[in-house]
Amino acid sequence: MPYKYFNVSPPITTGCIILNEFQSFVNQQFYNAPDAFVVSEEYPVASGSYIDVDVRINRGISTYTGEKLGDDYKNLYFRDLAHATAVGVKYFFNNNYWLVINSEIIKNFAAGCTIRRANNMLRWCDTDGTMLNEPCIIDYEISRPRDEMGTNEPVTPAGYIKIFAQLNDKTKKIKGNQRFLFGPVENRVCMRVFGNGVRNFLNQQTLNDESASLLELQVGGHYVNEQTDDLVNGIADRYADFGNLSSGSSVGALNILVNPSVLFAFKWIIYL
């Protein structure tokens, strides 16, 4: 008895039909919910320009543990199932910048991501004196919040914390030992990036070293320098000329002379 064959469409065709039908359903029903909003999305990425996109905003983490603030983490789901987003993309709504810290787009039925609220700004000057800034996320907990004293060094403030920001043409130039100021004008706090505290190498494409999109800085407590830091605008080392130390245009250069014999005697007295 001969077998009877049926023509069956390839699974990919069936999948496309289902996806198109679901997209039509989403388009019809997307705003029939209280969590649907229009937010601003940076496009193109790292351009500083923003466009409006339709999203649903849900709770990003459980708020019952008390370990993290629920309003700092949100999940975004896009009306367009093929919407392109990625780690490091910035959004703006509710008077805050937000940064994508996790995305679900690869081989996923719908596009979504987890965003975290930027709670501060990185501010610094480039080599030609241009003031730069970038929204950043400062983590909650300060590790080892105490002063430290080395064998041959004075007491230095400690306190380690993580900072996250979009990795772009501006932030790619941030290096170890760079200092940043945070906090209110009347009581600035200084943080210095550790010598090996720059993580800019988590590629989004394995073989593409330019595909990393999220910057992590490991920083520690440091001193505010009232002579070389711009405390008003919150920019560390704005008035510093490391080749010829200066405290600004109104003050002349300072010549620092070091006498090795006096320095040796000073250290000898300390050791006694």
Specify whether 141 is located in the same domain as 110: no
User: In this structure, what CATH number is given to the domain that contains residue 100?
Assistant: 2.40.10
More confident residue, 31 or 211: 211
Give the range with max mean pLDDT: 68-72, 179-183, 239-243.
179-183
Task: Evaluate whether residue 60 is within a structural domain.
Answer: yes
SS3 266: helix
Specify whether 59 is located in the same domain as 148: no
More confident residue, 63 or 173: 173
**What pLDDT is stored for residue 29 in this prediction?**
83
Specify whether 126 is located in the same domain as 239: yes
Specify whether 92 is located in the same domain as 214: no
Query: What's the number of domains the chain is made of?
Result: 2
| Domain-ending residue, one of 117, 140, 175 | 117
E strand spans, the chain: 36-42, 50-59, 73-78, 90-93, 96-104, 112-117, 120-125, 131-138, 147-149, 155-157, 160-166, 179-182, 189-199, 214-222
Specify whether 261 is located in the same domain as 134: yes
**What pLDDT is stored for residue 222 in this prediction?**
93
pTM: 0.78
Question: What are the pLDDT digits (tens) for 12-66?
Answer: 567 788 778 878 878 888 888 899 999 999 999 999 999 999 999 998 876 666 6
Specify whether 168 is located in the same domain as 246: yes
Task: Evaluate whether residue 228 is within a structural domain.
Answer: yes
Domain that residue 35 falls in: 11-117
Specify whether 65 is located in the same domain as 157: no
Specify whether 167 is located in the same domain as 261: yes
Specify whether 112 is located in the same domain as 177: no
Calpha distance 163→185 (Å, rounded): 20
Calpha distance 238→230 (Å, rounded): 6
**Which region among 45-54, 60-69, 168-177, 193-202 has the lowest average model confidence (pLDDT)?**
60-69
Specify whether 78 is located in the same domain as 205: no
**What pLDDT is stored for residue 28 in this prediction?**
82
Q: Give the mean model confidence (pLDDT) for residues 110-123.
A: 94
